[in-house]
Amino acid sequence: MVRLSGDIGSDNGAGGRPSDYSTEMADEICTRLATGESLRKMCRDDERLPSERTVYRWLLAHEDFCQRYARARELQAEPHLEDILEIADDKETPSDQKRVMIDARKWSMSKLAAKKYGERKLLGSDPENPLPSANIDLSGLSAAALAEIASLDPDA
């Protein structure tokens, strides 16, 4: 079994917290994550749930939970989009405060669902986003100009 270092979460005290893995508990955690709840907050505030540290142990020990958890994290970005729209429409919140709130959610979305909300980087070797090729018509150049172009050092 893989042991976690003591710096990941806390056990939230001895006793009372479930520590044995259950599919039902894992489902509840994933559902709540997908609807925008923070793992730290739900584990801290809901005594029925295991500690955050226990959830991390489950992720290491249960591949099916790890996959569902990863998908729930991707879905967690969606409630942020709703938040952004509500914040933008709020007439009472000052503009500078709105900007900070919206930027924080946009940053979070770009990390939680990078393919969907992250910055797109175009790579020449990416088949989905090939770089455009440039066709240059050299037919109007003289033989001397073509010879000069041919003699250029490509590494210069």
Q: How far apart are CA 116 and CA 120, in angstroms?
A: 9
Domains, the chain, in order of start with CATH, read 23-75 (1.10.10.60), 77-117 (no CATH)
For the segment 88-133, what is each residue's pLDDT rounded down to a tens digit? 999 999 999 999 999 999 999 998 888 888 887 666 666 766 667 7
CB distance 112 to 73 below 8 Å: yes
Measure Cα distances from 28 to 10, 13, 56, 60, 62 in Å.
20, 22, 15, 18, 15
Q: For 24-45, what is each residue's pLDDT tens digit?
A: 999 999 999 999 999 999 999 9
Query: Please, what is the Cα angle at 41 between 8 and 56, to 5 degrees?
Result: 30
- Compute how many other C-beta atoms are within 10 angstroms of the C-beta atom of residue 54: 21
CA distance 93 to 155: 56
Specify the DSSP class assigned to residue 77. H
Q: What is the reported pLDDT for 123?
A: 61
